[in-house]
Amino acid sequence: MILSQRYLSAYKVFQKIKWLGMLLSGITIFFMMFYTSADVLIRNINGTSPLHAYEISQYYFMPLAVFPALAYTFGEGMMPRIEFVITKAKSLVIQRIAAISLIVIEIVLMLLLAVFGWQYLMHAFGSGMAFTAGGTNYPLSLVILFVPLGFFLVVIEMIFLLVKNIKGKQPSFVVIEKHEVTDV
C-alpha cells in the first residue's frame, strides 16, 4: 500500500474512537435486555411498570444503540450496495472515478445529516425537548447529541476512504481490507 505511516496511525486512533462508539451502543443494547426483562418481571409481580421500559427504550436506548455505532458500521463495510460498474467496468480509471464520486456524494450527504442533526440538537436544547414517563420529564438533548456526532464520525470515515481512493490504484470501500487487519 502507498498509504503513509501518518495516515495509518491517524486511522488507528480513529478506529479506537469508532470502537468506543460500538461499545457504547452494544452495552446499551445489553443493558436494554436486562432493563426490559426487569420491567416484565415487575409488571408480572405487581401490575405496574415503574421502570418505564417502553419510554426509556424508545427515547434513550434505541438512539444510543444506533448513532454512536454508525461510523463503526460504515467502517466495517456493512452498508449494502449493488456492486456493478465499479467491479465490472473494464477501465480501472472509470472504476476509480466512480468510486471517488460516490464517496464524495456520501460525504456531502452525511455532512448534511450532521449539520441538520446539529440544528435539531440546538432546537432540542433551546426548547427543553423532553419525553414524559410517570409524570417525570426526561430531557432529550443528551441523546440527540449522538445524532450529529454519529454522522460526523461517518464523514471522517469517508474522508479517510476518499484519501485512500485518491492515493491508491484500486477502488475500495473499506479503509482496512478484512484480510489486512483483524481486530483493533
Partner 1 sequence: VSEEEPSTSGSGTEGGGNEQESINLRLNAGLSGEDANTAAFTTPWMETVEEETSGQVTFDAFFNQELVPLGEEIRALQDGTIDLAAPVLPTYNPDQFPLSDVPMLPLKSSDSIIAAKAYADLIRSDVELADGKTFADFEFGEHGMKALPVQPVSQYTIGAVGGHEFSDAASLQNLSLRTGGRAHEIFVQELGSGSVSMPWSEEFEALSRGALDGNVRSVVDYKPYGFDELITTSITGLAIGHFPLVWLMPEDKWNELPEDVQTIMEDEAYALAESTVKQELFDQALIDAEEAGIELVAVADLEQGAQDLLEEASTNTWQAWIDAKESEGLPGLETAKLWRDLVIEHGGEVHDPILELE
Partner 2 sequence: METLFIIMFILLLFLLFAGMYIHSILLTVGILGLILLEGPGYITGFLQSDPFIRTASYSLTTVPLFVLMAQFIVRSGIVEDLYNIVYNLSRGKSSILGVLTILAGGLMGAVSGSSNASAGAMGQVAVPQLLKRGYGEGMAGATVAAAGSLSAVIPPSIILILWGVATETPIGQLFIASIIPGLIIMVIIIAVMLVFLSNKSKSDKTESLEAPFEKEHVSLSRTIVAAILTGLIVFTVFYGIFAGLFTPTEAGAVGALVSFLAALILRKVSVNFLSRSFADTVKLTAMILMIMISAQIFGRFVSISLLPRKVIELLSTLIEYPVLILIILCILYFVLFMLIEGAAVIIMTAPIVLPLILEIGTDKIWFGVVVGILCTLGLLTPPVGLSVYSVAGVTGISSEKIFRYALPYAVVIGVVIIGLLIMFPGIATFLPSQM
Residue ranges in contact with partner 2 by CB under 8 A = 22-23, 25-27, 29-30, 32-37, 39-40, 44, 53-54, 57-59, 61-63, 65-67, 69-70, 72-73, 76, 78-87, 98-99, 102, 105-106, 109, 112-113, 116-117, 119-120, 123, 143-144, 147, 151
**Interacting partner of 165 out of partner 2, partner 1, none (Cβ under 5 to 8 A depending on kind):** none
Say which entry of partner 1, partner 2, none residue 73 contacts (CB below 5 to 8 A, set by partner kind). partner 2
Alpha-carbon radius of gyration of the chain: 20
- The residue type found at 118 is W
50's grid cell: 415503574
Hey, how many other C-beta atoms are within 10 angstroms of the C-beta on 134?
11
Residue 134 touches which member of partner 1, partner 2, none, C-beta under 5-8 Å by kind: partner 1
Encode burial over 156-170: b for 16+ CB neighbours within 10 A, e otherwise.
bbbebbbbbbeeeee
Check residue 127 for interaction with partner 1 (CB under 8 A): yes
For 130, the enclosing helix (H) or strand (E) is: strand 130-133
E strand or H helix at 177: none
Task: List interacting residues with partner 1 (CB under 8 A).
Answer: 43, 46-49, 52, 54-55, 123, 127-135, 137
